[in-house]
Structure 1
Amino acid sequence: MEKNVGKIDKVIRILIALVIAGVGIYYQSWWGLLAIVPLATALTGTCGLYSLFGISTCSTKK
């Protein structure tokens, strides 16, 4: 798959993942596992929803 997640988007996704995981740990809930989704998309640089809608936050290099 083509990368479609830019640098700023990656940082935001990682921060969101940390918040979700922290809340899940604090409340001792399995919902904290949802942090895997934004973390995985940030680390791989690919978002399935972005692909479906044709969105890309990557900067184009020419």
Structure 2
Amino acid sequence: MTTNMGTIDRTLRLIVAAALFYVALVSQSLGDGGVYWVSIAIATIFAVTALVGTCPLYSLLGIKTSRTV
């Protein structure tokens, strides 16, 4: 699998994932289950794609933010 995400893109995704995990924790303490599960799902997708370096949606759309060939 080739990487199609650059360093800045991956870093921003990890930051957004961390923020969404925080939102999930806060919403769980407030008792809002819907926000909790949506936040966890999106945060997990962002974290996994950032760690792997490949975004399936980027592949479908032909987007590449990495500088490698």
TM-score, length of structure 2 as denominator length:
0.81
Corresponding residue to 1:33 among 34, 40, 46: 40
* Residue equivalent to 1:19: 19
Q: Secondary structure at the match of 1:27?
A: helix
The match for 2:2 is 2
Deviations 1:3-36 (A, max 9, x none): 1011000100000000111001001023331210
Percentage of matched positions with identical amino acids: 41
CA distance in structure 1 between the aligned counterparts of 2:16 and 2:63, rounded to whole angstroms: 20
CA distance in 2, matches of 1:60, 1:10: 14
- Give the paired residue count: 61
- Distance across 2 between alignment mates of 1:47 and 1:30: 21
More helix by share: 2
State the partner residue of 1:44. Answer: 52
* Per-residue deviation, 1:2: 1.3
| The structure with more radius of gyration | 2
Unpaired runs of 5+ residues, structure 2, are: 29-35
In structure 1, runs of 5+ residues without a counterpart are none
Root-mean-square deviation (Å):
1.2
